[in-house]
């Protein structure tokens, strides 16, 4: 197992209307595979500018969340918002679907694996700032 050369912190990321019913393991919070997939995509995009480095695992830290739900009913304390889909082609009403949505304020900590030459290059503050700014833009 390789060890990360350093870690990147993406701080204060706001996500609006994320899916809160995305898996049975993370009911009430977006699936972790979504965050891993986003970092994987970022790693692929950064290869054009920085082929000497790639991104590894990701840790998610949730600072604040707001579940979009309805207040108490006689059956439960809270329920997710219910939406009705548009009419069907036949003109019949579509079924009501429970949508679990959530607003999040998160931090991501990402492993960075780099070649030795690139690590030496990143030890210079200007190069490290350029690398971080490029990833933030991506």
What does the pLDDT look like over 55-103, one tens digit per residue?
999 999 999 999 887 666 666 676 677 666 677 788 787 776 667 888 9
Q: What is the pLDDT of residues 13-55, one digit of tens each?
A: 999 988 888 777 777 888 899 999 999 999 999 998 888 889 9
Cα separation, 65 vs 104, in Å, equals 5
User: Among candidates 10, 133, 20, which has minimal Cα distance to 61?
Assistant: 10
Cα separation, 22 vs 32, in Å, equals 9
Contacts 24+ apart (CB under 8 A), 42-47: 42/135, 42/138, 45/138, 46/134, 46/135, 46/138
Contact in structure between 15 and 108 (CB atoms under 8 Å): no
Return the H-helix or E-strand segment holding 120.
helix 116-122
Q: Where are the beta strands (DSSP E) in the chain?
A: 6-19, 53-70, 79-80, 82-84, 96-98, 101-114
Contact in structure between 138 and 40 (CB atoms under 8 Å): no
pLDDT at 1: 65
């Amino acid at each position: 197992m390789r060890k990360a050369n350093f870690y990147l912190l993406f701080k204060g990321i706001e996500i609006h209307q994320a899916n809160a019913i995305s898996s049975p393991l993370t009911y009430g919070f977006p699936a972790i595979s979504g965050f891993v997939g986003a970092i994987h995509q970022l790693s692929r995009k950064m290869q054009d500018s920085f082929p000497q480095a790639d991104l590894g695992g990701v840790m998610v830290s949730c600072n604040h969340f707001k579940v979009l739900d309805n207040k108490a009913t006689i059956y439960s304390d809270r329920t997710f918002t219910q939406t009705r889909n548009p009419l069907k082609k036949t003109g019949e009403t579509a079924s009501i679907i429970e949508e679990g949505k959530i607003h999040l304020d998160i931090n991501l900590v990402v492993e960075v694996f780099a070649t030795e030459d690139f690590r030496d290059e990143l030890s210079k503050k200007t190069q490290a700032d350029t690398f971080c700014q490029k990833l933030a833009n991506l």
